[in-house]
A and B are shown apart, each in its own frame.
Chain A
């Protein structure tokens, strides 16, 4: 639970905790490295044939699962699978903090809406917004997926009601497939009409567009930094040209109309 209602304070706590953990880990790593490397270094330098062996043992001290032959077994080997899982876990924002996603979302929202100083950069606000948007997208995707999963479950139950195992044992694959597809279509159409689906899809659309908008902001900042015309600047020019052409056509139309009148 949050200690107070001050989201900015919580945000600072999170960063402070992260910073402390990082510095502590750096210190421990340095100490551990020193302790580990010294005996191997001594051993490696004492014999002509020992360096490779010493290196292997040194690596195993740091990564017990390390096996050079694993590389030859391809990316599906356990060591890579574990690594991939760890990597994916690391990417999941909900694992970055001790706060529950909804609680974190509130904190981020509060930070994003916090006070700004005129002459100071506000990266914390951008970071909080980006983080919140990533959480929103993740939640929206999960919610929509849940609605659709439930729809497929209902399809299965409906199919099971109309088709017994005995029917399937008749061997008429085509008939069973036709019934299955018909049931699925019926159920998916029903689901798509439900308020639950509509709302989930709306949130998903909103979340994905917000991420796209953030990407656009990043591209704008990048273009700005490298003296490249930004999308917004080109859009502004397009709008000016569009309005000018419209005015020109209006003037032309009025001119030809007044010419036609004067002929009469």
Chain B
């Protein structure tokens, strides 16, 4: 016999009436969700590639070495800021287009609007022909040459290098090896200590570190020897697995929730376009990234070498701004903040962004916090600091 249901006051509830109410509410919600999904689907049907263009801020190639180019952005502000040019360097696991996703979510545009002279490194599209490139090539030859070019364009005076994620690791290493080239070093979501403070990890933080740490050196070697490259599809799958349910539901529940809202849908599609464009990582450099840095933590241990020279991060002698994301599921906070242990306290500053790894650049909140923070730091620490660099 079914127990008699009672309401909060202890009065019996009519079972048929309760069931009917529940049934009606459930159907109402499902119809509402269905209607939203239809709106979102209709929007997708009418949207064309041209509607989701990314990295549209005008620029021109001013330097090229092999596949690597330096893009110089046309100024957007009438008044130029009294700061050195900024060269932005993204990593090899994604494309630099993320920092210029769309007009209202663009680090590049925000800096240009503040009168900053902006250059960006485009690593190109590495193929198996690039599989033997190592960090010697990426840090010293490619990034070093790009920096030298911008320094030369700046009348031989030092510049600010802004490295993001893996590009931040390159930037920190170069700033330690050739400090004379730099008036300032900004980093965002950059791993320095690849092991981090594991006791401080929150749930979902540091999975990548544990996962790579669990691999044997032989596993990494087998992977690179077999593929020649670290396939972009593979790194993309690993990144997706860091947010399992979000990855599983974004094309169904997520799309329905957008209710065909144009700005939300276009932003979503631009992000998808950026995520899908994931290049293969050159094999030998990936082997170093996984074995020497992630597994052996050589940069933090002071044993990482570029062209036979040990990278000593305490050689960095320019103002440093280190931006980390408090909810970063790819680069744990402690892995980024470790840079503070190497740089003199009077030169070192941090901004902790309350968001995730990519949110640092593409979220609405980031437009003010990050870009604004960088501009303020540039103007405060690097004004009138310009002197001739020994290139």
- Report the Cα distance A190→B5, complex, angstroms: 37
**Interface pick from B90-98, B124-132, B159-167, B348-356:** B124-132
Task: Judge if A146 is at the interface, Cβ distance under 8 Å.
Answer: no
A and B contact pairs by CB, cutoff 8 A, 27 listed: A169-B18, A170-B25, A171-B24, A173-B25, A173-B26, A173-B33, A174-B29, A181-B249, A184-B245, A185-B246, A186-B203, A188-B245, A189-B204, A193-B203, A193-B210, A202-B214, A205-B219, A205-B223, A206-B219, A209-B222, A212-B227, A216-B226, A235-B131, A235-B228, A238-B128, A238-B132, A246-B137
Further 7 A-B residue pairs, CB within 8 A, beyond A172-B26, A181-B249: A172-B29, A173-B30, A185-B245, A192-B244, A202-B219, A238-B132, A242-B133
Using an 8 Å CB-CB cutoff, how does the interface string of B49-69 with A read, 1 for contact, 0 for none? 000000000000000000000
User: B211 contacts which chain A residues (CB < 8 A)?
Assistant: 192, 198, 201
Distance of A198 Cα from B216 Cα, bound (Å):
12
- Complex contact B203–A169 (CB within 8 A): no
Given contacts A181-B249, A202-B215, A238-B132, contact A189 B244 (CB under 8 A): yes
Residues of A153-190 at the interface with B, using a CB-CB cut-off of 8 Å, are 166, 169-174, 177, 181, 184-186, 188-190
Interface assignment of A239: CB less than 8 Å from any CB of chain B: yes
What residues of chain A lie closer than 8 Å to B225, measured between beta carbons? 213
Compute how far the CA of A193 lies from the CA of B213 in the bound complex, rounded to whole angstroms: 12
Residues of B224-250 whose CB lies within 8 A of A? 225-228, 241, 244-246, 249
The total of chain B residues at the interface (CB under 8 A) is 39
Question: Closest CB of chain B to A235's CB: distance in Å?
Answer: 7
A residues within 8 Å of B by Cβ?
166, 169-174, 177, 181, 184-186, 188-190, 192-193, 198-199, 201-202, 205-206, 209-210, 212-213, 216, 234-235, 238-239, 242-243, 246, 249
B306 to A: closest C-beta gap in Å: 13
A192 and B22 form a contact (CB under 8 A) = no
> With a CB–CB cut-off of 8 A, which chain B residues contact A213?
222, 225-226
* B contact residues vs A (CB 8 Å cutoff): 5, 18-19, 21-26, 29-30, 33, 128-129, 131-133, 137, 141, 203-204, 207, 210-211, 214-215, 219, 222-223, 225-228, 241, 244-246, 249, 253
Complex formed: what's the CA distance from A249 to B26 in Å? 70
Among the interface residues B129, B132, B141, which one has the most CB atoms of the partner chain A within 10 A? B132
User: A205 to chain B: which residues have CB within 8 Å?
Assistant: 215, 219, 223
Complex alpha-carbon distance, A173 and B26, angstroms = 6
Query: In the complex the two chains form, what is the Cα distance from A170 to B24 in whole Å?
Result: 10
The 4 closest A-B pairs by CB, nearest first: A171-B22, A171-B25, A185-B245, A171-B26
Closest A residue to B24 by CB, please name it.
Answer: A171
Task: Please report the C-alpha to C-alpha distance between residue A185 and residue B22 in the assembled complex, in whole angstroms.
Answer: 27
Given contacts A185-B245, A190-B203, contact A173 B29 (CB under 8 A): yes
